[in-house]
Amino acid sequence: MARLTFLALLANAVLSQATSVWTLNCAPLTIQRSDPIISPGVASGHVHAVVGGTAFGRTMNDVDSASSAPATTCDKFTDHSNYWAPQLYHMRSDGKFDMMPFTGMNAYYENQTCNYDPSGNCPPNRNPSAFPEGLRMIAGNPFRRTYNSSDPWQQAILMETGNFGEQYGMPTRYAPAISGHVRFPSCWDGVNLDSEDHQSHVSYPDPTLNLKNGGSNTQGGMCPQSHPHAMINIGAEFGWDISSISDLKSLVWAQGDTTGYGFHGDFFMGWKDPSALQQSFANCNGGSCPWNSFGTSNGQPGTKTSMLPQIQGPFENIGWLGPIDALPGNNPVYKPMAIKGRQVTA
């Protein structure tokens, strides 16, 4: 499934350059109402599904909060970063909610973005840098309930069921697996590891630049002058098993979003050896890049492994024990109602 999705992504891309890519595969780490970027130290507004380093917790205030983890659920063993997205629930006919099984995350790491340059066009080798240590960023917006096609922050959020192809908002064709796709910003201001809105220190490539080499979009191209530093591009896909249900309209994301436009993802940089990460993209052979410096032996990929975080999240009945009466955090379910052609919230 993952591979096909990537091909679909490539087909959509306007980028003509050959890119090098490898896939990061991560097993689930925890599902809890925590978000150390948006809600440090306290319960977050909704439940998140998390993968990556075992240092994940509500309080991650240090530059090395993620990289200091002793282990990771990911197959590239030096990636102790954390990645998280809203958890998926099923709305039952009795009004209760079932938690859907989270199956983990795959992410494409690609060299598609280049530094800002006054020439306005990327060189043949785009040469993005590894993420600065301790960088944190979010893509998407939990509160969106409509789609704005000219906003790159929304173009970066897609969904897919099975291999039916990516689309904006909740998929319409049933398959027993659903994934939420998050393309993270790949341009950085060079100064801030975070910002008040957790977004303005990073940016997507500038669609008005790199026009001679296929343009720029959320997946790659040239960084804007305001955020001139190109980073490796991450396309993350979070997955859930929905084989127990048959009606996609009965799905809701943990923040109460039934539209899918409010899907989002968070990244907390925790690569133990950022220079090895960057070196990997400097030593690619065609489309594949070596990952033997990522803590695996003989250039073989490691194995993703489910683990528990070092610090157990505070206990909350988020649905582990069976159906629950409300979405944790008491988030109301968004019900669009058509009134004279307009959509309003119930």
Ligand X SMILES: *[C@@H]1O[C@H](CO)[C@@H](O)[C@H](O)[C@H]1NC(C)=O
* Binding footprint of ligand X on the chain (CB under 6 A): 17-20, 111-112, 124-126, 148, 150-151, 281-282, 284
For residues 162 and 4, the answer to whether their CB atoms sit within 8 Å is: no
> Which residue reads 């800002």 in tokens?
116
CB nearer to ligand X: give 146 or 312: 146
Rg from Cα positions in the chain: 19
The greatest distance separating any two alpha carbons of the chain, rounded to the nearest whole angstrom, comes to 64
Q: How far is the CB of 274 from ligand X (least distance, A)?
A: 17
Give the integer Cα–Cα distance in Å for 28 and 72: 10
CB nearer to ligand X: give 284 or 311: 284
Give the integer Cα–Cα distance in Å for 296 and 71: 13
Q: How far is the CB of 284 from ligand X (least distance, A)?
A: 3
Q: How far is the CB of 212 from ligand X (least distance, A)?
A: 14
DSSP-derived letter for residue 309 is -
For residues 205 and 153, the answer to whether their CB atoms sit within 8 Å is: no
CB nearer to ligand X: give 128 or 319: 128
Q: How far is the CB of 343 from ligand X (least distance, A)?
A: 13
For residues 188 and 80, the answer to whether their CB atoms sit within 8 Å is: no
CB nearer to ligand X: give 11 or 321: 11
- Among residues 106, 133, 101, the alpha carbon closest in space to that of 52 is found at 106
Question: Nearest 5 degrees, angle CA 132-CA 16-CA 160?
Answer: 70
CB nearer to ligand X: give 125 or 296: 125
Q: How far is the CB of 111 from ligand X (least distance, A)?
A: 4
Q: How far is the CB of 316 from ligand X (least distance, A)?
A: 35
CB nearer to ligand X: give 109 or 268: 109
For residues 304 and 104, the answer to whether their CB atoms sit within 8 Å is: yes
What token pair was written down for 317?
């009945």
Q: How far is the CB of 150 from ligand X (least distance, A)?
A: 4
CB nearer to ligand X: give 53 or 215: 215
Give the integer Cα–Cα distance in Å for 8 and 312: 38
